[in-house]
A and B are shown apart, each in its own frame.
Chain A
């Protein structure tokens, strides 16, 4: 059974700091990996999607990497801002129990202090 783990569960940093969020998964047979952002009381916003054949994706100050063989992904946020404060979720898409689906981690709650 696919399991997705995100470390740390919570992170507090001063504004301007570069930071890394970690995601690991137990079954490397994935189609893709997606990073989401969730603001309090809101839904999920897709940030980056990395196909299983890719190594990384970049969008603005965000860079996500994927090492499928070791079951790891990182989300790098450069020059963090208070507006980056949110919960960041990692999810992998694979086949499990006869259904194709996203399996989510429990998230990392990020606080960027002014």
Chain B
């Protein structure tokens, strides 16, 4: 069972380059999320997609764009990479955000991360 798959696992970019991080899940989940994890900051939500066709900003959306390509795939794009975007990026999914809001247990499942360095 693959779960949540992220590609690439590692990437080095130069300042100003663009890059798309890919995420796919095979659990038929409706909701997907992008986080970044930085030392001393914990995980912070960048963007999320409650359902296919919708996307919303999280806590730290500046400098990023997302696309919910279909139910399985949710990509994160850096249009002009900056050194401050050096981080580990995690994609996650859950069955349905709306069910969480209605009181149903909806754990989030995470990929193994993309380690991105921007020089």
Contact = CB atoms under 8 A, between A and B. Distances in A.
Contacts of A44: 43, 90, 92, 110
A106 B50 CA distance: 25
Q: Among A34, A44, A45, A107, which residue has the most Cβ atoms of chain B within 10 A?
A: A44
Interface residues of A, number: 27
Interface residues of B, number: 29
Contacts of A53: 103
B112 A99 contact: no
Interface stretch (B13-21, B51-59, B72-80): B51-59
A110 interface: no
A61 interface: no
The majority secondary structure among interface residues of chain A is: strand
A42 B112 contact: yes
Nearest to A107: B42
Interface string A56-99: 00000000000000000000000000000000010101000101
Interface of A: 4, 31-32, 34, 36, 41-46, 49, 51-53, 89, 91, 93, 97, 99-102, 104-107
